[in-house]
Structures are given as C-alpha cells and as structure tokens.
Homo-oligomer: A and B are copies of this chain.
Amino acid sequence: MSIVFNPSVRCQLPVLLLLLQGILIGIFAVFLSYDELSSAASLSNITVAKKNDMDTYFPLFKDIQLMLFVGLGLLLSFLKLYGFGAMAFNLVIANFSIQWAVLVQGFFYHYRDGKIHFGLENVMQAEFAAVTALISAGAILGRCSPVQLLLLSMLEIPLFVLNDWLINHYFHIIDIGGTVAIHVFSCYFGLGVSRILYRPGLRAGHSKNITTPTTDLLSLLGAIILWIFWPSFNSVLAKSAEAQHRAVLNTFLALSFSTLTTFALSSLMDKRGRINMVHLQNSILAGGVAVGASADMMITPAGASGLGCIAALSCILGFQYIAPFLEIKLKVQDQCGIHNLHGLPAILGTLGSILAILFERVDTTGHNLRGLITSDISIEKELFSSDTVEGNGAWNAKDQALNQAAALGVTFGVSLLGGYITGLILKPPCLVHPSDEMCFDDQPYFQIPTDSEETWSLNAQAQRELIVPLKQV
C-alpha cells in the first residue's frame, strides 16, 4: 500500500490548486471587467446588438462545452481502471486552462483602458486554447499526476497563444478550424513532453493498459459526440454566414466519409476482417481535423469528402505502422494516439489547404479567400492589424500557399521545442509521479468503490455483509 499512496499527493495538489485559484481571483479582481455586451453600464440602445451576440455565440458555446467535457471526457475513459482519472482530470485541465487563457488572451487581445474586457467571446476563445492542453495530455494519459497536468497547462497555454498570434500576424494563415494552430501544435507539444517522460518500464506493455466492452462503448459514444459537434467547432470563427454554412457542410462531409473509410480500412487491417475499436474511436474524427484548414473555402463537396477519406487512411496507417515506430525507435509513448488523430491528419489537411488555395478558380473564390482573411466581423478581428490592409493589395494565391506552409513549419518547431522544455520541467522527482505499477490506475488519486465487479463476484457473500455508512454515499 505504501507504493500506491504517495503522501505528497495530498500536499501538492490541494496547495497548488488553492494557490492558483486564489491568484487568479486576485488578478480577475484587478483586471477583469464585463465587456460592453454584458455590462449594465452600457447604453441601452445597443440591446439589439447584444441580443445578436448572445444568439450567435451562446449556442456554439454550449456545443464546445459538450465537446470538451462530455465528448472528450468519455472518449478518454477507455481504460478499465482509469475512468475516473480520465474524466475528472479532463475537468481539471479544461477548467484551469480556460481560466488561465482568459487572462493570457485577455492581455493579448482584450486589454483596453487598464481592463480586460470580458464576455462570452473571451470564454469561447479560451476554450479553444484549452483544447490544446487537453489533446497534449492525451499522449501521457494515465502516466502523470494531476499536479503535472496542471503544470503542463500552465506552460502550454501561453505558448499556444504566442504561436497562434505569430501565425496569424505574420503569415495570415487561413485556418478556421485550428488545424495548424490547435491540432498540429497540441500534437507535437504533447509528443515532446512524452519523449522526455518516456518510461522504459512500460515498453513491454502494462497489465492495466486494458479496456472493457463497456469502457470501449462509452469511449465510442464520446467520439460520436465530438463527431456531432465538430461542424460547430470548425465554423465558429467563420467571417460570414455563407462561409459558416460552407464550413458546416464541408466538415460534415469530411467526417461522414472518414467514418465509412475507417470501417473499411480497419476491417482490412485485421487478418480476420474484424474492426478495431481504437480505430473507430479516433479515425472517424480524422476528417474533421484535416478539413479545419480549408472548411470555409470553396473546396467543393467532393473535395471535402475525398479529404475525409485520405485523413482516415492516414490515421489508421498511423496506428498500424507509425505509432509502433515512434514508440520503439523514437521512445515516444502516445497513449491516446494523438499523433494519428491530430498530427498526421492535420499535416495532410494543411497540405490540402495549400492545394485548395493554389487551384481555386479566381472568379468565385479569389474574392472569397481574401474575404476569409480581411473581414472584420470575426471574433479574432484584433489579429488583423493595419499591415494586413497594405498586404491586401499584394495578396496572391502563391504567397498565401507559402504562408500556410511557413505557419505549419513554425508551429511544428515551436510546439516540439516547447513540449521538450515542458517535459524537462515536469520531470523532477519532487513532483508527484505515479510509479510504473500505478500507471493507468485510479487508485492513487480516487477513493474507489470497494465493490468493483471483480471483487463482488469473487466474494459476493462477504460483500453483502459490508457495512457502508450512509454518510459516505
């Protein structure tokens, strides 16, 4: 039992959390004020505009919330003995990251007159930032303590905001769904961390790295919930109603075709034709990741559909051939396969966006593509400062294509390096680490019901006599 319970869990987690909450409330008190859409001090004649704002953002806000907390929470809960950790630490990382990103992005984009102007728009922007921390944490799922996960979020969020600003400000990237800004970034950041936290002891496998039919089904359910709301995710930032409509359609088609392709390829990979649940849980989403960089372009319905197929292909090949290579040769353990779902499809999707930019016909979409950058009704309008206007006269497809590629390269480098450094910061033994044996196990962190299925069936009679005081339930 002394192996299971690390006394510093009780010290480090509460102290860190309470400290962070206290500091954040303090900074909020000094710097955060309601923005003009949520403040009672605003003039009443903008009520109509406010109304529209709530109408526009609130439904999408709830979609994103469902994706982060229910969809991702369930998707991650596939391990037999680490369901509480997967869903609960997802809650911890997401909430802290949102609070922290509200501050960091607030000082970057919403700081005026000594105050961060705070509204639903800020929360939604912060949730996009939080997604990166949640994806990165997937690489090390079950191998890190919540204290380490909090530190990871603390370091990743500012780097994400910086990189996002870089690729928008200097490269004017077209990337409505965050294919580069979110998926490439979070994947290579996570792999960088995982490389440093490599555990040789898990190389030969782990007896707790197992699923059950119920956990696999709930995980698939989580993937399906992400699948349903992905069109919302990829279209929130659209700069016009027609671009938003198109982003929804393209994302839906990419997801639909990557779903059926997943079934075909997963069956093909097994010598008995049986489908692998891990493939289903991930690869049905690959189309949504890939199409993010071009969802609002005129890529045609067939283009979006084809991209979905290719994305699923890359994801499944990743699981079969690249993940083992990464683990054995490069010593990168990737528990949730984020490289297969986020890394590979996102790189393909960026290449797809470059092709789309180069081959789009000018008459309908030259106008369109410039519009995707310069329209000012976006929630990221601050990103496009005066230099964009000058740049506009010189806008051409080739430059934009180069910019997309450059943004991809920069993001790759920044995230991988950032992940490495973060890994080094998380490594010192003074931080709580679960032992190899206690990986993929809720026991060090949660009070587990004594009546789990296996014990029940083995000594059902003994259990029936167990007296659980009412107050504990």
Contacts and interface: CB of A to CB of B under 8 A. Distances in A.
A133 to B, nearest CB: 14
Contacts of A61: 248
Number of copies: 3
Contact of A21 (B58, B260, B278, B463): B260
A205 B444 CA distance: 26
A17 interface: yes
B277 A446 contact: yes
Interface string A73-84: 110011110011
Interface stretch (A30-38, A343-351, A391-399, A406-414): A30-38
Contacts of A73: 221, 224
A28 B69 contact: no
Contact of A298 (B39, B371, B465): B39
Contacts of A62: 63, 228-229, 232
B449 A58 contact: no
A330 interface: no
A78 B473 contact: yes
Nearest to A118: B301
Given A10-B268, A47-B240, A471-B324, A274 B444 contact: yes
Interface string A153-168: 0000000000000000
Give the bracket for the number of chain A residues in contact with chain B: 35 or more
Given A364-B41, A449-B212, A66 B275 contact: no
A53 to B, nearest CB: 7
A17 B7 CA distance: 54
A378 to B, nearest CB: 15
Contact of A457 (B13, B14, B267, B454): B454
Contact of A263 (B13, B118, B211): B13
Contacts of A468: 205-207, 209-210
Interface in A243-277: 243-246, 248-249, 252, 256-257, 259-261, 263-265, 267-268, 270-277
Contacts of A58: 248
A447 interface: yes
Interface string A38-53: 1111100001001101
A42 B242 contact: yes
A324 to B, nearest CB: 5
A96 to B, nearest CB: 6
A123 B260 contact: no
Interface in A74-105: 74, 77-80, 83-84, 87-88, 91-92, 95-96, 98-99
